[in-house]
Amino acid sequence: MASVDSSPSAWPCAALRDADLARRTTLRVGGQAEWLLEPATPEEFQDAWRAARERGFVPRLLGGGANLVVDDGVLPGVVIATDRMRRIFRPFPEVSGEEALNSETPRGEMVQRDPAEDPRLVCWAGATMPALLRSARELGYSGLEGIVGVPGQVGGGVAMNAGGKWGDMWDCIELVRVGNDDGSFVDIAREDADPLYRNANLGGRPVIGAVLRFDPQPKLLIQERMSEYLLHKRTVQPVTEWSAGCVFKNPDPEISDGRSAGRLVDEVGGKELSRGGAIVSPLHGNFIVNTGQATATDVFTLMEDLHDLVAQKTGIDLVFEVKRWRAQDVLTAPTS
């Protein structure tokens, strides 16, 4: 691995050394990234990606940190955070999705134009999910109400096909731009994609941006549906506490007799388990909550405990939905 110049100015975008990651995740555990790069545009992302690869690192991608457990200590290598790539805008009617995703394409407010004429939104990866839902609601764009309350950013939401019983992120996707290992971008149209349950099936490639197409509907109806779903969610999930969302994917209903991961944890007594400052939410068995002082080690251990308990008592091998960044996994790329 090539050595890295220790000055932030050695990188082609904003860069931080030994950056704290815990506050950039919704679970609030974990240590630092040796390097954290913060591109502000897709082009800067490309430059940052290439610079990391040239220095021998496979960058880890950090979106809203909503589905992620970061290890304690220093994570060697490079993390690219998409926080600053947060644009959401309406493309001009004559502009294709591909063109609209290029940052040099002119953007306008277009306050005069009826939003229903061209119900599309273009988002860069770092746009937050709540901001996207707010924009859609304000424009009378229906389609994503079902994912109200999902935290994080569009990039992560697209990559993992975030969703729940009322719908998934990919219900509205028209086009997704992803990055290849060499930093080049490729656009994938909805009809050429094969998104799966909680996995958009993009080959692990980073999502750079997306074009979404909606169904124009009265704002009031959209607002009502969002409020109803959110209210329900608040009664069954610990939405205001520090967590990484659902720990496990729901198992195949044929194997589990239709029981969700949360219900299985509940049935086998998993809600009684805790490790240090990490507990299983009394509200929902598929959430681990950081009560304030949890370490990543507490969370990793509790995740394994839950997995093993369900396996022992039911024979079901639950699959982790949350991503785990372990400090020992050093990701290196060949340098040319």
Residue 23 is a binding residue for ligand EPU (CB under 6 A): no
Residue 285 is a binding residue for ligand EPU (CB under 6 A): yes
Contact with ligand EPU (CB under 6 A) among 73, 76, 164, 238: 164
What binding mask, one character per residue, do residues 317-336 give for ligand EPU by CB under 6 A, x or -? ----x---------------
Q: End-to-end distance of the chain based on CA atoms, in angstroms?
A: 11
In the numeric block, which tokens belong to residue 135?
């924009």
The CA distance from 126 to 136, in Å, is: 16
Nearer to ligand EPU, 198 or 213 (CB): 198
Looking at the DSSP bridge assignments, the partners of residue 189 are 175
Closest CB 179 distance from ligand EPU, rounded Å: 24
Closest CB 286 distance from ligand EPU, rounded Å: 5
Stretch that binds ligand EPU, among 161-169, 172-180, 216-224, 308-316 (CB under 6 A): 161-169
Nearer to ligand EPU, 107 or 198 (CB): 198
Residue 63 is a binding residue for ligand EPU (CB under 6 A): no
Question: Which residue pairs from 257-266 have beta carbons closer than 8 angstroms and sit at least 24 positions apart in sequence?
Answer: 260/286, 261/285, 261/286, 261/310, 261/318, 262/286, 262/287, 264/310, 264/314, 264/316, 264/318, 265/306, 265/309, 265/310
Active site residue 246: yes
Residue 189 is a binding residue for ligand EPU (CB under 6 A): no
13, 177, 246, 275: the active-site residue:
246
In the numeric block, which tokens belong to residue 111?
């306050």
Active site residue 234: no
The count of residues in the chain is 336
Active site residue 172: no
Nearer to ligand EPU, 32 or 250 (CB): 250
Residue 266 is a binding residue for ligand EPU (CB under 6 A): yes
Nearer to ligand EPU, 230 or 311 (CB): 230
Question: What letter represents residue 298's amino acid?
Answer: D
Site for ligand EPU in 226-265 (CB under 6 A): 236, 245-246, 249-250, 260-263
Biggest CA-to-CA distance, the chain = 62
Residue 151 is a binding residue for ligand EPU (CB under 6 A): no
Nearer to ligand EPU, 105 or 256 (CB): 256
Is the CB of residue 192 less than 8 Å from the CB of residue 175? no
Alpha-helix residue ranges (DSSP H) falling in the chain: 42-54, 97-100, 129-139, 154-159, 219-236, 253-256, 261-267, 296-314
Q: Are strands 207-213 and 173-179 parallel, antiparallel or unpaired?
A: antiparallel
Question: What letter represents residue 63's amino acid?
Answer: G
Q: Which residues are catalytic?
A: 198, 246, 321
Site residues for ligand EPU per CB under 6 A: 164-166, 198, 236, 245-246, 249-250, 260-263, 266, 284-286, 321
